[in-house]
C-alpha cells in the first residue's frame, strides 16, 4: 500500500498519475491524495492507512524544498517507511544531496513509471530490501562526493561577472516598435487553430515513449503503442475541440523598457515618465572561458544610458480551463487512461498556445511580418526573439511570476498562482518576450553569495528567503536558520 501525492504548492500530476496506474495494475494499493497536499495530510494518511511506502511528486523547483521538509517531518515523527521521490525537476543528485540526509530509511529517486514497480518490489521484499537499500546508500554517497567536488569550482566575483556582460552595439534600427502598448486580453483562445501548433513529441514523452514525432510511430519496439496512443489522443482532441469542454484564454502586452544594471525596467510610456514594473535578473557567474560573456537576460535590453527606448513583452496563457473537471469525470467512470490523456492534451495545447501567440507577437512587434516558417521551423525556434519563462534556466526565480502576473492582471484570463508559484490551471505558460536579434536562451547555473545578496536587495527580500527559492542555483551552502 503506497500513499502518493503532489506536494504542497504544486499542481502537476500527470507523471504521478501514470505511476499510480502502473502500480495499481501490478496489484499494489495506491492511495492518491492528489495535488497541493500538505505534509501533515500525507503523513497522517500514511499512518492511518498503515501504508508501506510514501511517494512524493513535484514539477516546479520550490517543490524540492517541500520534499526536504516532508523527509524531516518523517524523521521527527519516527516513521520508517521508504520514501520515493519523482517528478520532472527532481533528480538522483538532489535526492542524494538534499533529501536522503534528512531521513535514514531508504529514500529513492524513481526516474519514471517503468522503474517504479521494480523499486517498490525490491523495497517490500524481505530478502531484497537490504541489498537494494545498501546499494542505494552507496550510490547516493558517491553522488554527494561528486557534488561536493563540483561545488568547489570557483565562481567569478559578481562585479567581475557584470563587467563581462554581453557587449552589444545598440542601434535604433534593431529596436522595433510594437503596434500597441499595454496589455490585451484574449478572453477566448481559438483552440482549433492553436491545435495545429502542437508538438506531439512531448505528448509521447508524457507517456514515457521517447522518440521524435512522427518517426516514433514507426519505432521497431514501441511504434504500435505509439500509433494507438496517437490515434486515441487525436480522437479525444477532436472531441474536446468540438464540444468545447476545455477552453483557453490569455493576456499579453508590450511596454517601453530599458536595462538599469541587471534590472529590466518597464515604463508607462516612451517618455519614461513612470516605472510600471522592474524585473531583477540573475547573471552567470561560472567562468565561461576567455572572450565569452557571462550572460543575463538584462543584456538583451537597451541600457538606459544609451538614450534609446527599447521594448519588452510579457504573456500568460492557459488551455486548461475545464481540464480538471473533464479529467474528474473520466476518473469517476474509473477511466484513468482518458483522465490522464485530458491533462496531457491540455499541456500540449498550452504550449501550442504560447507558440501561436509568439508568432502573432513577432508580427505585431514589427519584425516578424516576413516570416515564412513551417511548424518544424517554429518548433526548432528558427525565428528572431525568445520567450523565457520564470522557473527555467535563464530566469530560475519563480517568485518573479508574482510581479509578472500583477503587470498582466493575469487572473482576468483565468490564470492564478499557488503559494509556491505554480500556475493554475496546470496547463498554463507565462514569461517575457525579448526581441533583440542576439537574444538567446542560456542557463544561469550556479551563483555565489555576493550576487544573492545584491539580488535580494534589488527584490526587497531577505537573503535567506532568496536562498530558499534559488536553492538549486546556489554555488555554496547557506547558513542554517539561527546560525
Question: Torsions phi, psi of 441, nearest 5?
Answer: -80, 150
Active-site residue identified among 13, 32, 57, 63: 63
Q: Verify whether residue 112 is a known catalytic residue.
A: no
Q: Verify whether residue 12 is a known catalytic residue.
A: yes
Q: Verify whether residue 296 is a known catalytic residue.
A: no
Active-site residue identified among 10, 65, 336, 448: 10
Dist. CA 381–CA 371, nearest whole Å: 12
Query: Which residues form the catalytic set?
Result: 10, 12, 63
Amino acid at each position: 500500500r503506497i500513499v502518493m501525492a503532489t506536494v504542497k504548492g504544486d499542481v502537476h500530476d500527470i507523471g504521478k498519475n501514470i505511476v499510480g496506474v502502473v502500480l495499481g495494475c501490478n496489484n499494489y494499493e495506491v492511495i492518491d491524495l492528489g495535488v497541493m497536499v500538505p505534509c501533515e495530510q500525507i503523513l497522517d494518511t500514511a499512518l492511518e492507512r498503515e501504508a508501506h511506502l510514501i511517494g512524493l511528486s513535484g514539477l516546479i523547483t520550490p517543490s524540492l524544498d517541500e520534499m526536504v521538509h516532508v523527509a524531516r517531518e518523517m524523521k521527527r515523527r519516527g516513521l520508517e517507511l521508504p520514501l520515493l521521490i519523482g517528478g520532472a525537476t527532481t533528480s538522483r543528485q538532489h535526492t542524494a544531496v538534499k533529501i536522503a540526509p534528512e531521513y535514514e530509511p531508504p529514500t529513492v529517486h524513481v526516474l519514471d513509471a517503468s522503474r517504479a514497480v521494480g523499486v517498490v518490489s525490491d523495497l517490500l521484499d524481505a530478502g531484497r530490501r537490504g541489498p537494494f537499500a545498501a546499494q542505494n546508500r552507496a550510490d547516493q554517497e558517491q553522488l554527494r562526493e561528486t557534488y561536493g567536488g563540483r561545488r568547489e569550482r570557483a565562481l567569478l566575483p559578481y562585479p567581475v561577472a557584470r563587467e563581462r556582460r554581453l557587449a552589444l552595439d545598440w542601434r535604433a534600427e534593431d529596436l522595433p516598435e510594437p503596434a500597441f502598448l499595454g496589455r490585451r486580453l484574449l478572453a477566448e483562445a481559438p483552440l482549433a487553430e492553436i491545435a495545429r501548433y502542437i508538438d506531439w513529441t512531448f505528448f509521447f514523452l508524457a507517456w514515457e515513449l521517447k522518440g521524435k514525432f512522427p518517426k516514433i510511430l514507426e519505432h521497431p519496439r514501441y511504434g504500435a503503442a505509439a500509433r494507438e496512443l496517437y490515434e486515441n489522443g487525436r480522437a479525444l482532441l477532436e472531441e474536446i475541440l468540438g464540444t468545447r469542454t476545455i477552453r483557453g484564454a490569455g493576456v499579453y502586452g508590450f511596454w517601453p523598457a530599458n536595462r538599469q544594471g541587471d534590472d529590466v525596467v518597464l515604463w508607462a510610456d516612451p517618455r519614461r515618465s513612470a516605472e510600471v514594473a522592474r524585473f531583477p535578473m540573475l547573471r552567470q557567474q561560472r567562468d565561461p572561458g576567455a572572450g565569452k560573456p557571462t550572460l543575463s537576460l538584462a543584456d538583451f535590453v537597451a541600457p538606459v544610458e544609451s538614450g534609446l527606448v527599447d521594448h519588452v513583452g510579457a504573456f500568460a496563457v492557459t488551455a486548461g480551463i475545464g481540464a480538471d473537471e473533464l479529467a474528474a469525470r473520466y476518473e469517476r467512470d474509473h477511466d484513468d487512461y482518458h483522465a490522464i490523456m485530458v491533462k496531457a492534451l491540455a499541456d500540449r495545447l498550452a504550449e501550442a498556445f504560447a507558440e501561436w501567440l509568439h508568432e502573432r507577437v513577432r508580427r505585431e512587434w514589427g519584425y516578424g511580418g516576413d516570416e515564412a516558417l513551417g511548424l518544424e521551423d517554429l518548433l526548432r525556434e528558427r525565428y528572431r526573439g525568445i520567450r523565457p519563462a520564470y522557473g527555467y534556466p535563464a530566469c530560475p526565480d519563480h517568485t518573479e511570476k508574482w510581479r509578472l502576473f500583477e503587470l498582466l492582471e493575469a487572473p482576468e484570463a483565468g490564470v492564478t498562482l499557488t503559494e509556491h508559484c505554480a500556475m493554475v490551471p496546470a496547463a498554463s505558460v507565462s514569461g517575457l518576450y525579448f526581441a533583440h536579434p542576439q537574444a538567446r536562451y542560456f542557463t544561469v547555473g550556479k551563483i555565489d553569495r555576493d550576487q544573492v545578496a545584491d539580488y535580494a536587495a534589488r527584490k526587497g527580500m531577505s537573503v535567506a528567503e532568496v536562498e530558499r527559492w534559488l536553492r538549486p542555483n546556489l554555488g555554496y551552502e547557506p547558513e542554517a536558520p539561527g546560525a
